[in-house]
Chain A
């Protein structure tokens, strides 16, 4: 009986440890928030990204409710929080007629010595509750959000 109890404790500890290693926004990339058949996912790695000083690019575009969009934003914010000094994140809200957009960019903790970035953008029209959300994850040698923006221009 003790053996089994110990085994369960070991298993539980192992599962908890592995669940904490990733980013919160992984849930979106893994289709746990929006089904994968309802999103556009892009994954690129290789020489194509060299001009941006990136080695890996992954994005997800999908249409969600206002509440889901807010939840996704909170996840991206949480992933960026605490890794860098305050002020390194960038948020912007824009409005063109009835078109609205909210963009949030942040740098997250390094992976294999590479700098990592998360970008979130939501678009919506007027008072509708639907949001078209895009989340991008990028890795590379590019050092900051500013540098990345310059390279992308």
Chain B
């Protein structure tokens, strides 16, 4: 529990640009775990990516003589904090957009789906949905002639 409190505090401190490399390493280690609280999950990908990048740059490793963040100029700290926050928003936002896109893409579906959205109103009545589908398919197969004829009959019938 105390550890989680510390992680939350460190996370906030990180986004404020005030963490030391040791503290950042602590965050990387924490976010590397699979089982983390729901509210911290949006940050997980960001920290995983940052951890991966940290391993690529030897000079940034803990104890390798890097400069603690608190020694950075204030404007630079703000810039880093803003960039980190932007990255987090991009990751979470991008993920949400991607998820929304794949859910409604023509190639994604639920099992045995049968649903229509008629001008925004969800309709699950099987007969109504299948009737709509049948009419559309028939119209397409007949290149529109049936629909046009039906419309003309309806208009000039009597």
- Interface positions of A (Cβ within 8 A of B): 1-4, 6-8, 10-11, 14-15, 18, 22-23, 25-26, 29-31, 35-48, 52, 56-59, 61, 92, 94, 96-97, 99, 101, 103, 105, 111-112, 116, 119, 121, 123, 134, 136-137, 139, 149, 152-153
Contacts and interface: CB of A to CB of B under 8 A. Distances in A.
A48 B130 contact: yes
B10 interface: no
Q: Which of A15, A18, A41 has the most chain B CB atoms inside 10 A of its CB? A: A41
B105 A152 contact: no
Given A22-B101, A42-B129, 19 more contacts: A7-B53, A11-B90, A22-B105, A26-B101, A26-B106, A30-B104, A31-B104, A40-B116, A41-B117, A44-B115, A48-B130, A52-B137, A57-B133, A94-B145, A101-B143, A116-B107, A123-B148, A136-B137, A139-B106
Nearest to B76: A1
Nearest to B117: A41
Contacts of B104: 29-31
B87 interface: yes
5 tightest CB-CB pairs across the interface, nearest first?
A: A37-B120, A101-B144, A46-B112, A137-B106, A152-B141
23 contacts: A4-B87, A7-B46, A7-B49, A11-B90, A15-B94, A22-B107, A26-B106, A30-B104, A30-B105, A31-B104, A36-B120, A41-B117, A43-B116, A45-B111, A45-B112, A45-B114, A46-B112, A46-B113, A48-B114, A96-B148, A99-B148, A152-B141, A153-B141
A134 to B, nearest CB: 6
Interface of B: 46, 49-50, 53-54, 57, 60, 80, 83-84, 87, 90-91, 94, 98, 100-101, 104-107, 109-120, 129-130, 132-133, 136-141, 143-145, 147-149, 151-152
Contacts of A15: 94, 98
Contact of B117 (A40, A134, A136, A139): A40
Contacts, number: 151
Contacts of A56: 106-107, 109
Contacts of A137: 106
Q: Which of B87, B98, B111, B148 has the most chain A CB atoms inside 10 A of its CB? A: B148
Contact of B144 (A36, A38, A52, A94): A94
A9 to B, nearest CB: 11
B35 to A, nearest CB: 24
Contacts of B46: 7
Contacts of B106: 23, 25-26, 29, 56, 58, 137, 139
Contact of A99 (B54, B60, B132, B152): B152
Given A6-B53, A29-B106, A43-B116, A152 B101 contact: no
Contact of A7 (B50, B109, B137, B145): B50
